[in-house]
Amino acid sequence: MNKIKVLIIPIVLFLIALVIITNLGNVKTSVKKPMPDLPDLIFEELSYFKKEAIGEKFNNQKYLVNFFASWCAPCLAEHPTFMKLREKGVIIIGVNFRDDENNLNAWLNAHGNPFEYIIRDEGDIAFELGLIGVPETFFVDGKVIYKKVQGPIFGDDIEEFL
């Protein structure tokens, strides 16, 4: 009987520990899943105003990719930050997410255009990047995303980039 007891207790403890460790591993991977590179769609699609593809123009540079929409109030909140960044020479690619063309034009006319290129997205680029909502900003080096900010971006987020 004692032999069974001696065996069972360590086995149960071992299994409990195993479950805890397995689950901790899951949490870790779901939080720290590697960020994808920017999808090629962004570089291949004709941009809204310039009617040319971005191609490989920014291959060796750091730049921002900002998902925005005219119907999104927080996008307006972060807009002045982007206007200032544009003045400082920061390259920002705007991805206009599920928006009406007339509303986009009116929004840019009213508030200014901080974007080097604007790509219109019906949702497929957002899907590939795992977008949760707008605004969302990706910090990119070449094509590699090294940081992501969900929600409006302000000065503190950008200092490191500058």
Partner 1 sequence: METTLKSFYRLLCLTFLLLPLNLFAEDQTRIDFYKTIRCLVCDGQSIYDSETVFAQNLREQIKLKFDEGFSKKNIKDQLSKIYGEDISFQPSSNDFFLWFIPFLILFLLLVFNFGRYAKKKN
* Amino acid present at 93: I
Q: Work out whether 10 is an interface residue with partner 1 (CB under 8 A).
A: no
Give the residue with the Cβ less far from partner 1, 6 or 46: 6
β 62-68/92-97 pair status: parallel
Which residues in 44-58 are b (16+ Cβ under 10 Å) and which e?
ebebbeeeeebeeeb
Kindly identify the residues of this chain, within the stretch 25-44, that bind partner 1 according to CB under 8 A: 26, 29-31, 33, 36
Which region, judged by CB under 8 A, interacts with partner 1, from 7-15, 53-61, 85-93, 107-115? 7-15
Q: Does 132 bind partner 1 (CB under 8 A)?
A: yes
Q: Is 134 in the site for partner 1 (CB under 8 A)?
A: yes
The window from 19-27, 55-63, 88-96, 139-147 that contacts partner 1 (CB under 8 A) reads 19-27
Check binding of 124 to partner 1 (CB under 8 A).
yes
CA 94 distance to own-chain centroid:
12
Give 3-state DSSP helix, strand, coil % of the chain, rounded to 5. 45, 20, 35
Please state, in angstroms and rounded to a whole number, the distance separating the CA atoms of residues 138 and 40.
15
Longest dimension (CA), the chain: 84
Interface positions with partner 1 (CB under 8 A): 1, 4-5, 8, 11-12, 15-16, 18-19, 22-23, 26, 29-31, 33, 36, 98, 123-124, 126-134
